[in-house]
Amino acid sequence: MQNPGYGTDGHCAAAAEKIRAVCGCPGADVHFLVGGTPVNLISLAAFLRPHQAAIAATTGHIAVHETGSIEATGHKVCTIDTPDGKLTPALVRAVVAEHTDEHMVQPRLVFIADSTEIGTLYQKAELQALRAVCDELGLLLYVDGARLASALASEHSDLSLADLAHYADAFYIGGTKNGALMGEALVICNDALKADYRYIMKQRGGMLAKGWLLGLQFETLFTGDLYFSLARHANAMATRLAQGFADAGLGFFMPPVSNQIFPLLPLPLIKELRRTFEFQLWGAPQGELQATRFVCSWATPPQYVDALLAAVSLWASKAG
In what helix (H) or strand (E) does residue 109 lie, and over which residues does it extend?
strand 106-113
Q: What is the mean pLDDT of residues 23-30?
A: 98
Nearest Cα to 307, choosing from 261, 276, 272, 281? Answer: 276
Q: What pLDDT is recorded for position 319?
A: 76
Chain segment 3-16, per-residue pLDDT in tens: 999 999 999 999 99
Mean pLDDT of 57-83: 98
Average pLDDT, the chain: 98
Q: Which residues pair with 107 in a beta bridge?
A: 53
Q: How far is the C-alpha of 232 from the C-alpha of 223, rounded, in Å?
A: 16
SS3 annotation, 12-80: HHHHHHHHHHHHCCCCCEEEEECCHHHHHHHHHHHHCCCCEEEEEECCCHHHHCCCCHHHHCCCCEEEE
Q: Give the Cα separation of 57 and 116 in Å (integer).
A: 10
Given this model, what pLDDT does residue 246 score?
97
Q: Measure the CA angle with vertex 12, ends 6 and 13; round to 5°.
A: 115
**How much is the average pLDDT of 150-176?**
99
Give me the mean pLDDT over the 200-211 stretch.
Answer: 98
- pLDDT band at residue 320 using 50, 70 and 90 as cut-offs: low
pLDDT-above-70 percentage for the chain: 100
Write out the residue limits of the CATH 3.40.640.10 domain(s) in the chain: 10-223
pLDDT digits (tens, 9 = 90+) for 29-50: 999 999 999 999 999 999 999 9
Residue 297 reports pLDDT greater than 90: yes
Model pTM score: 0.97
| Residue 166 predicted with pLDDT over 70 | yes
- Span 217-229, pLDDT tens digits: 999 999 999 999 9
CATH architecture of 227-319: Alpha-Beta Complex (3.90)
Name which residue leads in pLDDT, 216 or 318.
216
Specify burial of residue 20 (Cβ count, 10 A radius: 0-12, 13-18, 19+): middle
Cα diameter, the chain: 64
Residues present in the chain in total: 320
Considering the chain, tell me which residue range(s) the CATH 3.90.1150.10 domain(s) occupy: 227-319
Tens digit of each residue's pLDDT (9 = 90 or more) over 227-275: 999 999 999 999 999 999 999 999 999 999 999 999 999 999 999 999 9
CATH topology of domain 10-223: Aspartate Aminotransferase; domain 2 (3.40.640)
DSSP H or E segment with residue 200: helix 197-203
